[in-house]
Amino acid sequence: MIFKPTLNKNNKLNKRLMTIKDKVVLITGASSGIGAATAKMLAGQGAKVMLLARREEKLHDLVSDIGDSAEFAKVDVTDYDSVNAAVQKTIDTFGKLDVIINNAGLGYLGPMEEAAVREWKTMVDVNVTGVLNTIHASLPHLLESQGHIINIDSVAGHNYFPNAVVYCATKHAVKAISYGIRVEFRSRVKVTNISPGAVETEFIDNFTHQATKEAMTKNFEDVLKADDIAEAILEVLAKPSHVVINEVTIRPNK
């Protein structure tokens, strides 16, 4: 279902939402969870969305659901050439690029002494290199449109948790990237870092350490919904051109 808020025509938010209409938004990790929810919500406000992920069938179904305002590219964010080609496809399809949402990410949690090094590398490649690849490939177009970079970080980027040393490190890196880009390109590109707490997504499905997975499953009861994060992104993008929200932290109220 495409999100369309039922707001009074005189409502200030309704007027601000008009700023989203016809914006071109590229979303990584768009095949499910926060990415898919955000794609539907922004498209419901008149945005054009380019959806990037590895699962082509899910992307195809999502684009079919959204309609002509959506297109997709099968992309591994760790592969710069693949990301760059998707950015070019965005320009070829929609003519510009206004917003990127770096949402692709994953976590492998477990005790440090039992962790697989290959899982550490995967987290660094996806969570950090993937963000850098997408920013670098998109930056010339974002500078041209005076666009907006939204990085989906985590509360793990502000704290440290047991059995999550490397995951927390990658999320601290995302926060540092957000801050650094903001300093270097202030007034030329908006930057927002969004840090959700536990969200009902496929996050814990990736865990290979069974004891940690069982323990974390209890922590993912009565948590945030993907739409909660999508609504926060919508509000960030609805701000007028002279306003930028730099940092958002969203947690379950429990």
Q: Which two tokens stand for residue 80?
A: 């710069």
- Quick one: angle between helices 165-184 and 117-124, nearest 10? 20
Extract long-range pairs of 60-68: CB within 8 Å, 24+ residues apart.
Answer: 62/30, 62/31, 62/36, 65/2, 65/40, 66/2, 66/39, 66/40, 67/43
| Among 108, 160, 167, 179, the one annotated catalytic | 167
Strands of 30-159, DSSP E: 48-53, 70-74, 99-102, 148-152
Active site residue 167: yes
Q: CB count, 10 Å around CB of 186? A: 11
Q: Which residues are catalytic, by number?
A: 167
